[in-house]
Structure 1
Amino acid sequence: MEVNIIKTRIKSIYTPSRIPRVDWTVNQYVGCAFACSYCYAKFLTKWKDYGKWGSWVEVKVNAPELARKRVKGSVVMSTVSDPYQPIEAKLKLTRRVLQYMDKRNELSILTKSPLVTRDIDLFRLFDRIEVGLTINGFRGREKRLFEPLTPVQEARINALKELKEAGLKTYVFVSPIIPEVTDISSIVEETRDFADYYFFEVLNLRASGREFQRLLQEGYPEIYEILTDDGKFGKFVEKLRREIKELGVKTEGIETHKRGWELVKV
Structure 2
Amino acid sequence: MKLGVMEKKVRSLYIRSRIPGVEWAVNQYVGCAFACKYCYAKFLCRWRDYGPWGTWVEVKINAAELARRRVKGSIVMSTVSDPYQPIEARLKLTRRVLRYMDKRNELSILTKSPLVVRDVDLFKEFRSIEVGLTINSFEGREKRLFEPLAPVQGTRITALQRLYEEGIRTYVFVSPIIPGITDVGAIVEETRDFTDYYFFEVLNLWAAGREFRELLRESYPGSYSVLKDDEKFETFLKGLREEIRRLGIRVEGIETHKHGWELVSP
- Measured against aligned partners, the alpha-carbon deviations of 1:171-222 in whole angstroms (never above 9, x if no partner) come to 0000000000000110001100110000000001110000000011111111
Report the Cα distance in structure 2 between the residues aligned to 1:94 and 1:183, rounded to whole angstroms: 31
Q: Residue 134 in 1 paired to residue 134 in 2?
A: yes
Partner of 2:214: 214
- Measured against aligned partners, the alpha-carbon deviations of 1:210-261 in whole angstroms (never above 9, x if no partner) come to 00000111111111111011111111111000001000010112111125x3
Partner of 1:203: 203
Partner of 1:77: 77
Partner of 1:265: 264
The Cα of 1:265 is off from its aligned counterpart by 2.8
Report the Cα distance in structure 2 between the residues aligned to 1:205 and 1:263, rounded to whole angstroms: 19
The Cα of 1:116 is off from its aligned counterpart by 0.1
Partner of 1:183: 183
Letter in 1 for 2:190: E
The 3-state SS of whatever aligns with 1:254 is strand
- Measured against aligned partners, the alpha-carbon deviations of 1:20-60 in whole angstroms (never above 9, x if no partner) come to 11111000000000000000000000000100100000000
Letter in 2 for 1:186: A
Report the Cα distance in structure 1 between the residues aligned to 2:257 and 2:177, rounded to whole angstroms: 12
Report the Cα distance in structure 2 between the residues aligned to 1:241 and 1:124, rounded to whole angstroms: 34
Letter in 2 for 1:211: E
Letter in 1 for 2:246: E
Summarize the Cα distance change of 1:264–1:211 in structure 2 as closer, same or farther, 3 Å threshold: farther
Could you tell me which runs of 5 or more consecutive residues in structure 2 were left unpaired when the two chains were aligned.
none
Please tell me whether the aligned partners of residues 114 and 155 of structure 1 are also in contact (alpha carbons under 8 angstroms): yes
Report the Cα distance in structure 2 between the residues aligned to 1:20 and 1:207, rounded to whole angstroms: 19
Please tell me whether the aligned partners of residues 23 and 73 of structure 2 are also in contact (alpha carbons under 8 angstroms): yes
Report the Cα distance in structure 2 between the residues aligned to 1:83 and 1:60, rounded to whole angstroms: 12
State TM-score, norm by structure 1. Answer: 0.98
Q: Runs ≥4 in structure 1, deviation > 6 angstroms?
A: none
Partner of 1:173: 173
Q: Report 1:1-266 matches (<5 A).
A: 1-258=1-258, 261-263=260-262, 265-266=264-265
Please tell me whether the aligned partners of residues 256 and 264 of structure 1 are also in contact (alpha carbons under 8 angstroms): no
Please tell me whether the aligned partners of residues 245 and 264 of structure 2 are also in contact (alpha carbons under 8 angstroms): no
Report the Cα distance in structure 2 between the residues aligned to 1:213 and 1:185, rounded to whole angstroms: 25
The Cα of 1:264 is off from its aligned counterpart by 5.1
Report the Cα distance in structure 1 between the residues aligned to 2:171 and 2:191, rounded to whole angstroms: 9
Report the Cα distance in structure 2 between the residues aligned to 1:98 and 1:89, rounded to whole angstroms: 15
- Measured against aligned partners, the alpha-carbon deviations of 1:82-114 in whole angstroms (never above 9, x if no partner) come to 000000000000000000000001000000000
Letter in 1 for 2:144: R
Letter in 1 for 2:254: I
Report the Cα distance in structure 2 between the residues aligned to 1:98 and 1:35, rounded to whole angstroms: 24
The Cα of 1:148 is off from its aligned counterpart by 0.3
Report the Cα distance in structure 2 between the residues aligned to 1:247 and 1:56, rounded to whole angstroms: 40
- Measured against aligned partners, the alpha-carbon deviations of 1:133-160 in whole angstroms (never above 9, x if no partner) come to 0011100000000000011000000000
Report the Cα distance in structure 2 between the residues aligned to 1:262 and 1:172, rounded to whole angstroms: 17
Report the Cα distance in structure 2 between the residues aligned to 1:206 and 1:52, rounded to whole angstroms: 18
Report the Cα distance in structure 2 between the residues aligned to 1:145 and 1:104, rounded to whole angstroms: 41
Please tell me whether the aligned partners of residues 205 and 213 of structure 1 are also in contact (alpha carbons under 8 angstroms): yes
